[in-house]
Structure 1
Amino acid sequence: METMLDIRRYQDTHVYGDASRSQAFYAGLDSTPPLYGTDAEPGPAKLAYAHYTLDTVVGTGHWFIVEYDPGSFLAYGYLVIAGCETGSWGHFDIRELESVISRTGLRVERDSGWLMKPMADIADIGVLL
């Protein structure tokens, strides 16, 4: 049974020789508020500017980005681990997210059809903390 903890990362590069994938992975993040820029807003009111997913045999993992620092590639958002019913808020390195590959060879993908929306409008990710 595969979980998000059963991932492996390829070393040396986060682009894997695919510049178009890398560009799409980061596209539009420059309009995301800076880190700590939404501290005054309650979780459900925060806007999710980007959505990333990873499908596994136990479910889909989700990363919703509400803040981002392009200098450090550090993002803040809501994460739901595949197979879990609830998620949590936290920081993560977007370069590491891009480098994740599951045991079955699947990679984290950016939701290209995603439209910015409040976290309260995302009903299928579990209970917001």
Structure 2
Amino acid sequence: MTQNSAATTPKTSDLNSIRAIIEDVQAGFNRNDADLMNVHLAEDAIIVNARGVRLTGRPAIDEATREGLAAGFLRDATAYYQLTDIALLAPDVITAGKNAWSTQQDFEVGNPPEMNALYIFIRRSGRWLIWRRQNTLIA
């Protein structure tokens, strides 16, 4: 885990929460289940999807996710995720990187990731939520 001097390692319970969120995002994506994929988004979340489209607010993100998974370019896609660089920036703010492969086999054989993402998680009412996410496809 790479960190700068201003960041610290989150508590184990917080790390486990962040890992569980990413597991739900992965499972939702692979099952074409937009509700599971987005269950941990803050209402005021902003994301940039893999096509570079900026989506603001949970309703817009949910709609775009449903369309993409149901009949769009993501319908037949799968992904395997690995968290990297998890850092606690403030008591209620965690950043994390995420590498992604189309299959678990690509990850296991050591192929380079096909996408990476930067997440910002915030804790609200005792629960970690995805507040910002920026996806970048790797050429």
Larger fraction in strand: 2
Instruction: Say which structure, 1 or 2, has more relative contact order (CA 8 Å, 6+ apart).
Output: 1
The alignment's TM-score, normalised by the length of structure 2, stands at 0.28
